């Protein structure tokens, strides 16, 4: 991760020609790209800038900017970090699934529902993270290895999550508990060797 920052005086000398915040952001993206990196975070006056700044923000004048800082990283490093985060999250999701299953089986429906929602949201984050990582890897011309195993794991997880949500909608909490305890944990475990292999392959 590369950290860069500019003081009030440096902004006036290094961002000459920029009249709005939007123009400053575009120049920061250009500076990062010139070193083969992508922008991960921009802070203006110690406030983090959203990924998609609105028209009003983008038209803010440079005169209002006191400080700017930027974090950037090489895309390959971001892919590896995403894969490692997803790998570590498998254990978190598995524990949450087992806890939700136990709550449902014990008749603690309220807490079970809450933990169930956390599991479903966690699965959504997991899938989105892997989709972004795979897409970024392909964009770099370095696609993921063992594509068939990757797709098989995707299909399995999608199938289980779909079955899980449909069963939950029918309020069959005992069946939901069984899916959480056995099917979802098995679907998550399928990912472990795939992601471990991919992370190791990219770190060599």
Question: Do 39 and 10 have their domain in common?
Answer: yes
In this structure, the number of other CB atoms found within 10 A of the CB of residue 152 comes to 13
* 89 token code pair: 């999250």
Q: What average pLDDT score do residues 140-165 get?
A: 94
Question: Do 129 and 171 have their domain in common?
Answer: yes
Strand stretches in 14-117, DSSP E: 38-44, 47-48, 68-73
Residue 35 clears pLDDT 70, i.e. is over it: yes
pLDDT in tens, 112-132: 999 999 999 999 999 999 999
Q: How many structural domains is the chain composed of? A: 2
User: Among 54-68, 87-101, 104-118, 155-169, which is the least confidently predicted range?
Assistant: 54-68
For residue 20, the model assigns a pLDDT of 87
Residue 164 clears pLDDT 80, i.e. is over it: yes
Question: Do 97 and 156 have their domain in common?
Answer: yes
Last residue of a domain, one of 73, 100, 122: 73
Last residue of a domain, one of 41, 56, 73: 73
pLDDT in tens, 44-64: 999 888 766 655 466 778 888
Last residue of a domain, one of 28, 45, 73: 73
Which residue, 125, 102, 117, is CA-closest to 174?
102
Question: Do 38 and 108 have their domain in common?
Answer: no
Question: Do 133 and 157 have their domain in common?
Answer: yes
Q: β-pairing, 47-48 with 38-44?
A: antiparallel
For residue 55, the model assigns a pLDDT of 53
Q: Domain limits at 135?
A: 76-203
- Residues with Cβ within 8 Å of residue 55, at least 6 apart in sequence: none
**Residues 115 and 96 sit within 8 Å (Cβ to Cβ):** yes
190 pLDDT band (50/70/90 cuts)? very high
């Amino acid at each position: 991760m590369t950290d860069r920052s500019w003081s009030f005086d440096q902004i006036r000398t290094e961002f000459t020609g920029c009249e709005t915040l939007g123009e400053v952001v575009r120049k920061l993206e250009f500076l990062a790209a010139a070193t083969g990196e992508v922008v991960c975070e921009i802070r203006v006056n110690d406030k983090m800038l959203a990924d998609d700044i609105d028209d009003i923000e983008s038209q803010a004048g440079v005169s209002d900017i006191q400080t700017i800082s930027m974090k950037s990283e090489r895309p390959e490093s971001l892919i590896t970090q995403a894969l490692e985060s997803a790998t570590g999250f498998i254990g978190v999701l598995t524990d949450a699934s087992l806890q939700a299953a136990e709550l449902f089986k014990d008749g603690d429906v309220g807490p079970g529902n809450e933990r169930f929602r956390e599991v479903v949201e966690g699965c959504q984050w997991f899938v989105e993270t892997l989709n972004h990582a795979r897409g970024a890897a392909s964009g770099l011309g370095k696609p993921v290895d063992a594509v068939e195993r990757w797709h098989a794991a995707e299909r399995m997880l999608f199938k289980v999550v779909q079955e899980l949500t449909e069963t939950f909608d029918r309020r069959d909490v005992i069946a939901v508990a069984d899916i959480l305890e056995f099917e979802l944990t098995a679907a998550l475990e399928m990912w472990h060797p795939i992601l471990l292999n991919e992370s190791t392959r990219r770190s060599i």
